Structure 1
Amino acid sequence: MAEPSATAEPLATAEPLADAHTADEAVRFCSDLIRIDTANRGGGDGVERRAAEYVAERLADAGFDPVILESAPGRANVVTRIAGTEPGRPALLVHGHLDVVPADPAQWRVPPTSGEIADGVIWGRGAVDMKNAVAMLLALLRSWARHGRRPRRDLVVAFTADEEDTAAFGARFLVDRHAGLFDGCTEAIGESGGYAYHVDAGADADPDAGVRLYPIGAAERGTAWVKLTARGTAGHGSRVHPDNAVAALAAAVVRIAEYEWPVRLIPTVRACLAGIAAALGPPTGDPADLDETAAAALADALGAAAALVAPTLRNSANPTVLQAGSTVNVVPGSAVGYVDGRVLPGHLAEFEATLDRLTGPRVTWEYAHRERPLDAPLATPTVAAMAAALRAEDPAAHVVPYCLAGGTDAKHFAALGITGYGFTPLGLPPGYDYHAMFHGVDERVPVEALTFGIRVLDRFLAGVG
């Protein structure tokens, strides 16, 4: 992980004040928030208002001054500002989302909105993505209020709606309509990063000693949701139809699905590969010497740790929706499909040219929704402070930067010139499949993971300069 520059301020050394009461509050808040159904079904179908009121009430009870901002009926966001002790410093944005993706109760062992706490684990939709992080931050801020503690920098805390769809009712609304709330913010921390990722140390290491990686999100692939349209000649299904829109669309979808995108090595992924390789074994040489072929080979050799880099070695495009026809005996005049595309920083032109080629002459494509890719600098005092906070709580931590395969609200706050990082720390146990919890069945998080996360957040947010 990049070390701080020579002018970097050291991390504050005061011990975290988060105590058992703070941890208990975080667990209770997480459970309560899970029980508030904030499922976002897309297209404007979602309600975060009750969760926003819950969050705002607990902030207000602690003496903060939150404001609820509703972008449409029921689509609510919460923002508050906490004054720092050194007002000349740039402000830091801390953001998390209140909405969750839908869950089918029939597939779950426990009801997804139960918020059940059993055997040291919190169950339910949002336990990881990301009501746990909202709860940790709420509990930590209330702890600060009890102890009269303040950060060095101003903190702007935002809990948003609609992150799981387009953010039109959440972060995008705040950026477009309430940009003044973020005055002075130059950096942000948000979803996905700082969690423990356990891997084997390798054949030459002590077999009982694993390696704990802690990835910090420093880049995100851009969102490129694409609509495909094929047009043909409508007619009776019993006749010959060489100009069949469904067939043309299907052929294009297969070409897209089967295409192997070339490896494209961005700086954050290069640094991630080098950091993981160094943690798992002897140095592999200068990471600057890694070319794209060597990067792919190195990723393949990383075992379980490859999951941190494999999705971000390339652009990607996955067909997800097909729409055509109404009855079996009618050839429709058009057919539509949707593709979830993700684009590495600096590689949009390649993505678009490849889609032009794969769709072919009979299918057109256009963006249904798109968001910019992000790539944040690594050699900064803020990144160094994140790493120091993690190592203070886990001296064996191997901190590495990584690129998120998907996207977060950081894309929208970037429009205000705010550099975003993924940092929602969790002390996860071996065998816990963190990535499978995102949008998965039986989403859950260990209570102890939150206790660790609160202490790391306390160190980082209080001390970062």
Structure 2
Amino acid sequence: MSGDAVDSEVVDLCRELVRFDTSNYGDSSGPGERKAAEYVATLLDEVGIEARLYESAPGRTSVVADWGGSGPTARTDRLLLHGHLDVVPAAAEDWQVDPFAGEVIDGYLWGRGTVDMKDFDAMLLAVVRHRQRTGRVPERPVVLCFTADEEAGGHSGAEYLVNHQRHELEGCTEAVGEVGGFSTTVRGRRLYLIEAAEKGMAWLKLTSRGTAGHGSMINPNNAVERLSAAVARIGAYEWPVRLTPTMEVLLATVGDLAGTEVTPETAPDLIEEFGGAARMLGAVISNTLQPTMLQAGYKVNVVPTEATAFLDGRFLPGYEEEFMATLEELVGEGITIEALSHQQPWETPYDGALVASMERSILAEDPEAIVAPYLMSGGTDAKHFRDIGGLRSYGFAPLRLPDDLDFTALFHGVDERVPVDALRFGARVFDRFLDEV
């Protein structure tokens, strides 16, 4: 393996991808992904991989390409490697650097998307381009997919491809995407987390209607009061701990290091062993429901007819029924619940040849490490791609991170950045991984 060539290109590609402002505001505004998609297509075309562009709406562009699939032991089951091209918006005035400049400072590449997820896009492109140039093409057929709109639920990207360009994905039996393979440090040991499950998503709108009137008068049917009480109940509720198979494996791994048996009672303490990563992992041992927006009224002395609240709900695999029943109980009478986006959770067994290949590729570069699965609190395009029957999905964008880096805080955060060495490490690991797929 010629790691130097992959190492050198992955950083340059990530910088160039960051410089495309693909901010996704969740509505029809924003620049879209078209320019970044054309850049990715050009990179693939340069090495003889034919890329196809699909637009669900003007500017909302995804890239699909076929790679590999020939040779004496060629397989028919296809592997889907996917990443998204959009990013969440960034307010430049809050950052130390221009979030779309792709600057390298003190060993870090700074910019919106360096963590979520143009880092993995760059790893994938650098490795595929190098292998194509040097004739190291996998005998297993691979689908390369770079999508639009993941940051707004994937409806104009992955979901569009599944519903309207399904032929591009037929025959895929396994998929690898974002938010996994990064390291955290527990009791002095580096532990790499491979995503094997995701919570379901319920973005909700609550609407309370009452009687409009003068703010100086008694009003027993105040929409704001009713809604505020419901939001307060939601915020104060403590969801019970529920351990899914994926988290039982992860916490058992940590329990071995800490000398603690895994139970629902010990799980919160074991989560704290992850330091900064507990912010994310603490959210995957229970359902969660967070109030995120409130809207009501138009003048201080007028009781409005209507008040609304928006909630970000996430439910564990196997616990949607409990989530919905608890939601209705907390909201109470006189408030309507509207689903703005509803996506199912998923969980893939952490076993098989693909998992073994991911583990071996990490341990070849970091022999003293531990590798284990985890359940992700957010959502990825895997939710849509799993609608292709029988698809086993994992998140594997490998990064070896400094012990003192609060990595999970950088997802959608200010001053998002990734260590240059971690990018190079990830490219080497992914190159090894593709040797075995």
Contact 1:277 1:302 in 2 (8 A): no
**1:384, CA displacement in angstroms?**
1.2
**1:20, CA displacement in angstroms?**
2.2
Structure 1 pair 433/276, CA: closer, same or farther in 2 (3 Å)?
same
Aligned to 2:27: 43
Matching residue's letter, 1:461: L
Contact 1:56 1:66 in 2 (8 A): yes
Q: Distance in 1 between matches of 2:417 and 2:143?
A: 28
Residue 62 (structure 1) aligned with residue 47 (structure 2) = yes
1:355-394 aligned within 5 A: 355-394=327-366
1:254-403 aligned within 5 A: 254-278=232-256, 280-282=257-259, 284=260, 290-300=262-272, 306-307=278-279, 309-403=281-375
Q: Distance in 2 between matches of 1:297 and 1:129?
A: 28
- Runs of 4+ with >6 A deviation: none
Partner residue of 1:134 out of 100, 113, 121: 121
Structure 1 pair 301/42, CA: closer, same or farther in 2 (3 Å)?
closer
Aligned to 1:5: none
Contact 2:254 2:270 in 1 (8 A): no
Aligned to 1:243: 221
Matching residue's letter, 1:25: E
Aligned to 2:200: 222
**1:273, CA displacement in angstroms?**
0.2
- SS of 2:428's equivalent in the other structure is helix
Matching residue's letter, 1:42: G
Structure 1 pair 296/53, CA: closer, same or farther in 2 (3 Å)?
same
Partner residue of 1:97 out of 75, 84, 103: 84
Q: Distance in 2 between matches of 1:426 and 1:305?
A: 14
Aligned to 1:116: 103
- SS of 2:138's equivalent in the other structure is coil
Q: Distance in 1 between matches of 2:85 and 2:273?
A: 38
Contact 2:277 2:406 in 1 (8 A): no
Higher mean C-alpha deviation, range 350-359 or range 301-310: 301-310
Matching residue's letter, 1:463: E
Contact 1:245 1:333 in 2 (8 A): yes
Residue 420 (structure 1) aligned with residue 363 (structure 2) = no
Higher mean C-alpha deviation, range 311-320 or range 375-384: 375-384
Structure 1 pair 61/111, CA: closer, same or farther in 2 (3 Å)?
same
Structure 1 pair 328/313, CA: closer, same or farther in 2 (3 Å)?
same
Partner residue of 2:211 out of 229, 233, 244: 233
Q: Distance in 2 between matches of 1:67 and 1:433?
A: 37
Contact 1:94 1:190 in 2 (8 A): yes
Q: Distance in 2 between matches of 1:137 and 1:300?
A: 32
Structure 1 pair 89/66, CA: closer, same or farther in 2 (3 Å)?
same
Q: Distance in 1 between matches of 2:19 and 2:274?
A: 39
Contact 2:162 2:387 in 1 (8 A): yes
- SS of 2:341's equivalent in the other structure is strand
Residue 125 (structure 1) aligned with residue 112 (structure 2) = yes
Aligned to 1:76: 61
Higher mean C-alpha deviation, range 455-464 or range 257-266: 455-464
Q: Distance in 1 between matches of 2:282 and 2:53?
A: 39
Matching residue's letter, 2:305: G
Partner residue of 2:409 out of 419, 425, 436: 436
- SS of 1:196's equivalent in the other structure is strand
Matching residue's letter, 1:23: D
**1:301, CA displacement in angstroms?**
5.8
**1:176, CA displacement in angstroms?**
0.5
Q: Distance in 1 between matches of 2:77 and 2:383?
A: 20
Q: Distance in 2 between matches of 1:413 and 1:266?
A: 22
**1:297, CA displacement in angstroms?**
4.4
Q: Distance in 1 between matches of 2:274 and 2:44?
A: 43
Aligned to 2:164: 177
Q: Distance in 1 between matches of 2:196 and 2:66?
A: 24
Contact 1:194 1:216 in 2 (8 A): yes
**1:145, CA displacement in angstroms?**
1.4
Aligned to 2:177: 190
Contact 1:213 1:276 in 2 (8 A): no
Contact 2:80 2:144 in 1 (8 A): yes
- SS of 2:109's equivalent in the other structure is strand
- SS of 1:26's equivalent in the other structure is helix
**1:227, CA displacement in angstroms?**
0.9
Q: 1:206-243, CA deviations, whole angstroms, 9 ceiling, x for partnerless residues?
A: xxxx2100000000000111110111111222221110
Q: Distance in 2 between matches of 1:55 and 1:299?
A: 38
Q: Distance in 2 between matches of 1:34 and 1:298?
A: 36
Contact 2:277 2:408 in 1 (8 A): no
Matching residue's letter, 2:338: E
Q: Distance in 2 between matches of 1:101 and 1:122?
A: 17
Q: Distance in 2 between matches of 1:354 and 1:250?
A: 17
Partner residue of 1:252 out of 221, 230, 237: 230
Structure 1 pair 303/139, CA: closer, same or farther in 2 (3 Å)?
closer
Q: Distance in 1 between matches of 2:207 and 2:362?
A: 48
TM-score by length of 1: 0.90
TM-score by length of 2: 0.96
Q: Distance in 1 between matches of 2:423 and 2:281?
A: 25
Q: 1:112-140, CA deviations, whole angstroms, 9 ceiling, x for partnerless residues?
A: 01111123211100011111111111111
Q: Distance in 1 between matches of 2:420 and 2:273?
A: 33
Identity of aligned residues (%): 50
Structure 1 pair 148/301, CA: closer, same or farther in 2 (3 Å)?
closer
Higher mean C-alpha deviation, range 255-264 or range 149-158: 149-158
**1:22, CA displacement in angstroms?**
2.1
